[in-house]
Amino acid sequence: MCEWCQCSGSALSYRDLWKMMESALTVASSCSLSALGYTRELQLLHFWLFLGIYLAVLLSNGLIITTIACDHHLHTPMYFFLLNLALPDIGSLCTTVPKSIANSLWDTRAISYSGCVAQVFFVLFLLSAEYYLLTDMSYDRCVAICKPLHYGTLLGSRACVHMAAAAWGTGFLTALLHTANTFSLPLCQGNAVEQFFCEIPQILKLSCSHSYLWEVQ
């Protein structure tokens, strides 16, 4: 016992043991994102680059939303769908980029398990809604070109609202289904996500069960 106490160079203090136990307990409730730079200079470059892109996208989409909302001459089906299309652009960016920017600034890669689930859900929800909104916009342009005399009848304000609501609702259900399927799998291949945000293909790599059916879905 005394020899162990005298070996201060190799012995662990109670504080070190507590930190090791605490980190072991938090592994199951957290994930580790991939770093875009392994040197401090690359991390700072990533921080400033992504911050500039983030602010530019927020500014451009914010101007689109403000202009369409304030100008009554733009209250038409085409601009109504364009306004709805700007919302998932902002949302998907706000879901992934701020966490990556913070990790680069503070030189960390940690993200909580609930935060990872939230990223997967909102990215799927917003991107799916964007795809369905693009479908609505293609239908709008098709009617405007092929049936211009019936355009006001086929695409009235109520029809546009129903189409947009269907796009958002379908995106929500799609994201809910895929997120539930993904995180119902047991994850036993560690907690390192090989991406700067949580996405389904990288989460499936951490599963210890056969995920072929989930990848097909």
Give the H or E element holding residue 13. Answer: none
The pTM of this model reads: 0.74
Model pLDDT, residue 10: 41
**How do 110-112 and 30-33 pair as beta strands?**
antiparallel
Tokens for 10? 């190799």
Burial (0-12, 13-18, 19+ Cβ within 10 Å), 146: exposed
Ordered domains of the chain (ranges, CATH)? 32-183+190-216 (1.20.1070.10)
Which pLDDT tens digits describe the chain residue by residue (217 residues)?
Answer: 443 333 334 444 545 544 443 443 344 456 666 556 567 777 788 888 889 989 999 999 999 999 999 988 888 999 999 999 999 999 988 888 888 888 777 777 777 878 888 888 999 999 999 999 999 999 999 999 998 888 888 888 899 999 999 999 999 999 999 988 888 877 665 666 666 678 777 777 777 765 444 454 5
Q: State whether residue 178 is helix, strand or coil.
A: helix
Q: Where are the alpha helices (DSSP H) in the chain?
A: 2-6, 14-27, 40-70, 77-106, 113-146, 151-154, 157-183, 200-204, 212-216
Residues 6+ apart with CB under 8 A from 184: none
The Cα 53–Cα 39 span in angstroms is 21
**What's CA 94's distance to the chain center, in Å?**
8
pLDDT of amino acid 128: 94
- Predicted confidence at residue 110, as pLDDT, reads 74
In degrees to the nearest 10, what's the CA dihedral of 186, 179, 119, 88?
Answer: 170
pLDDT score recorded for residue 182: 81
Give the pLDDT score at 13. 54
pLDDT at residue 148, rounded to an integer = 86
pLDDT at position 1 is 42
Distance of CA 93 to the CA centre of its chain: 7
| Res 61: pLDDT | 93
Residue appearing with tokens 């070996």 = 7
Q: What is the pLDDT of residue 31?
A: 66
Query: How far is the C-alpha of 89 from the C-alpha of 56, rounded, in Å?
Result: 12
